[in-house]
Structure 1
Amino acid sequence: MAELCVNQIRSFRLRNHHLDAVYKSTDMEMLAGACGMLNTPPGVWETAMYNRAPECGLADMEQHLYGDKTLLQAWSLRGVPALFPVPLSPVFLSALVPVGDEPWIYTHGMAGAMDFLKMDSNTLLETLKQVMTRLDDTTIVSKVTLDKTLAEWMLPLLPADKRDLWNQPSMYGSPDKQTVGGAVVSFLLRPCAFSGLVVFGKRSGISPTFTSYKNWTGQMLKADENASKQLVRSYLHCYGPSNVDGFVNWLGCSGKQGRRLWNMVSEEMEPVTLAGKKSFILSDDREMLFSPPSFDREIILLGGHDPYLDQRDRAVLQPDPTLQKQIWRLVANPGAVVYRGEVAGIWTSKKKGKGMEIQMKLWKEIHRRQGLLELAEEYAGFRQQKLAGIDLQ
């Protein structure tokens, strides 16, 4: 098996995440379609898009998402909100639908509610699907209202002896705001999203809105027999070399579902090694991966939840386990100072008056420090603020 070096992998992944060059606003669909752009916490996709196409302003992004509707936001990978081109909806939605006894992504946490109700989750999902069609001509503002409204719509369809339990305070999160029924709906919205029954609409102030795929795009979500294969190819193209465990972890699915999807394209893969460990690449990517590393964009200030940072083998990005803990936290990941594909430091920003203060902490010497100052000023401008100060450590 061919042996790779870490710089070859970094260069390969930067290129396929479209961080190797500066792209244009007309490339937004291609950029979002590489592997989807997760949007949690809300707004991180904007920073990710900006880092690939700096000429894209917030108004340009809103136009693509809300005006032209070339991009779509829906619950997707790992059950979290993601943006992707509308034509790739089957890849980032319907390909996630399980087969046979494979469990749905994200729904394992609802076991407590099922035990309380003494009901089957599949039965409740089918009941929810019956009322979801009302979103075809309705838009609901806020996630709390969506859960509550759908739970109310389901209530008359439930067995009479379950309705009182359905309306009891939730055993999750905020029992003062959510019922058991609302909690069940919240979990099952992910399977509904994968079926095209619910997507995000245009934000209303600070609140998200929700409607159906049909209502938002003007068409039903169509099945595509190639979508499952394309999902695996997208993963390997952006995160290869990798293995099935990395794919399962990235997708947030069961091992059984992940292995089924992975095996669909196994004939298109070949093994390679890194530091003696075996992993796989797409055979079509071999020439690109084994070409000499190239880092034309040496320094990038990535947002804390950029798709490039969503690599399962974190040692490729930063080999020091202690420093890894500073990059990937349980909450509120900082931004990453990426130098030639390696995370060489972290950065954070905060508003101060009418401006933005940025703090950077570097772990290795970067010769072009002036470039960091320029990138910080440009990012503040993208967020429509002035750079009030920068602390470079």
Structure 2
Amino acid sequence: MSDRPTEVPCLSWAEVRARRLERHALTAPSENARPADIVGAMAGTHAQVMSAAELAIGLRLAGATRTDVREALWTEHSLVKTFGPRGTVHLFPTRDLPLWVTALSALPPSQNGFSDDVRMSPGQVEAVLAAIADALRDDELTIDELGDAVVHRTGPWAGDLVMPAFQGMWPRWRQVMHLAGMRGALCFGPNRGRKVTYTSPSRWLPGSEPADTSAALSHVVRSYLHAYGPATPRRFAHWLSAPVRWASDLFESLAGELQRVEVEGASAWVTAGDTEVPSAPPRGVRLLPYFDGYAYRVGNQPPELLYPGRAAGRVLPGNFQVLLVDGVVAGLWHQRRSGRRIDITVEPLVRLTASQRDELDHQGERVGEILEARPRLTIGVVTVGGHA
């Protein structure tokens, strides 16, 4: 990959941490952004646990609560919930969905880990995807209703209970459900009571057209580098769950849009011209919810710098809610809700200064505001395991 400038900017790891905190609105919550702006700046927000996504977005918006996020998703439809990087549930700005769908559809096929008696043929995969798209075109269906619709359109083989699930077996067709989201055939609809529903994203974006593939891939790379850069093709591949060679070729094809920098002697990439870093060092105490801290790690390695000291053994192996101090993981936390009260237990792995402890108390109050509950924060040992 060729270098555009003759002089390669050199950044310190502290500058990279400060840059990332600022890009994620973790240096200070944004006063003017909307939920969709925050989600866009994060290159998507992990939403497998919706309350964690609401908290992740709320922490980045001054005065926001989970109600603001829910209104953006289910009333304004400025956010959409679907399957994104790594085949996991994410929120995206609805305006950007055609770009994400086109880019995710361009990923090389991943290996199917199911046995021969479970997996589907390429033709069956396409038949199921077409059936999902047709069933959801003008409807909102629960998982059981969608399953019936898929079997009706394809055949009994799609409904064979062959996939090991949590406490039973799932029908064969569900092994490509994440792919339906990544292809733009499916997104989440509003809950029907306690039941999740699914619908077509075209109902929220009527008249939308597929994006140009090159433009879509460029958008995803730029979004990633904005949120997590400087980074390398290998780190991008890890975040997207894509082959490293494919990611390297993609970065090479975008050489005119990218710029090489050095982070303490190691080469990495940013969007061309995007080399500015905050003048102040990384500062702040933050409580990141489930999957927020995980994305913070997956988005940009190396983990030994993000999880220094005791955090490497205590926090890194699991998906914990993390205590972030000055841009590095310095502890973990857990909350338990009972009615209108939330009990927050924080386990610092470093000694907090008096001012940091004050900031931690403020974070606890903010968590309560966002989740619309009365918080009570204590320092102690987190006894629960990492969230799977």
- What TM-score range do you get, normalising by the shorter chain? 0.7 to 0.9
Answer yes or no: is the 8 Å Cα contact 2:118–2:162 preserved in 1: no
Output one character per residue of 1:150-199: Cα deviation in whole Å (capped at 9) or x when no partner: 5413443xxxxxx5x555431422584423x2xxx223223322332111
Q: Which runs of 5+ in 2 are unaligned?
A: 1-7, 382-388
Q: Hey, what's the Cα distance between the residues in 1 that align with 2:221 and 2:372?
A: 37
- 1:301 matched to 2:301: no
Alignment of 1:314-333 (within 5 A): 314-320=303-309, 322-330=310-318, 333=319
How far 1:392 moved relative to its partner? 5.1
Normalising by structure 1, we get a TM-score of: 0.84
Answer yes or no: is the 8 Å Cα contact 2:334–2:346 preserved in 1: yes
Answer yes or no: is the 8 Å Cα contact 2:135–2:149 preserved in 1: no
- 1:59 matched to 2:60: no
Runs of 4+ aligned structure 1 residues displaced above 6 Å come to none
Q: Hey, what's the Cα distance between the residues in 1 that align with 2:118 and 2:352?
A: 58
Q: Hey, what's the Cα distance between the residues in 2 that align with 1:191 and 1:176?
A: 22
Alignment of 1:100-139 (within 5 A): 102-104=108-110, 108-112=111-115, 115-116=116-117, 120=121, 122-131=122-131, 132-139=133-140
| Inter-CA distance 253–55: structure 2 relative to 1 (3 Å threshold) | same
Q: Hey, what's the Cα distance between the residues in 2 that align with 1:5 and 1:372?
A: 27
Count of residue pairs brought into register by the alignment = 366
Answer 1 or 2: which has greater helix percent.
1
1:362 to 348, 370, 379: 348
Answer yes or no: is the 8 Å Cα contact 1:358–1:376 preserved in 2: yes
Answer yes or no: is the 8 Å Cα contact 2:31–2:62 preserved in 1: yes
How far 1:123 moved relative to its partner? 0.7
Q: Which runs of 5+ in 1 are unaligned?
A: 157-162
Normalising by structure 2, we get a TM-score of: 0.85
Q: Hey, what's the Cα distance between the residues in 1 that align with 2:166 and 2:345?
A: 35
How far 1:261 moved relative to its partner? 2.9
User: How well do the aligned residues superpose, as a CA RMSD in angstroms?
Assistant: 2.5
Deviates more, 1:250-259 or 1:194-203: 250-259
1:116 aligns to what SS in structure 2? coil
Q: Hey, what's the Cα distance between the residues in 1 that align with 2:338 and 2:118?
A: 49
Q: Hey, what's the Cα distance between the residues in 1 that align with 2:91 and 2:181?
A: 13
- 1:210 matched to 2:211: no
1:390 to 372, 378, 384: 378
Q: Hey, what's the Cα distance between the residues in 2 that align with 1:374 and 1:129?
A: 47
Q: Hey, what's the Cα distance between the residues in 2 that align with 1:26 and 1:280?
A: 27
Alignment of 1:46-195 (within 5 A): 46-98=54-106, 102-104=108-110, 108-112=111-115, 115-116=116-117, 120=121, 122-131=122-131, 132-141=133-142, 143=143, 145-146=145-146, 148-156=147-155, 163=156, 166-173=158-165, 176-179=168-171, 181=172, 185-195=173-183
| Inter-CA distance 93–329: structure 2 relative to 1 (3 Å threshold) | farther
Give the fraction of aligned pairs with identical amino acids, expressed as a percent: 21
Aligned to 1:160: none
Q: Hey, what's the Cα distance between the residues in 2 that align with 1:362 and 1:6?
A: 22
Aligned to 2:25: 18
How far 1:346 moved relative to its partner? 1.5
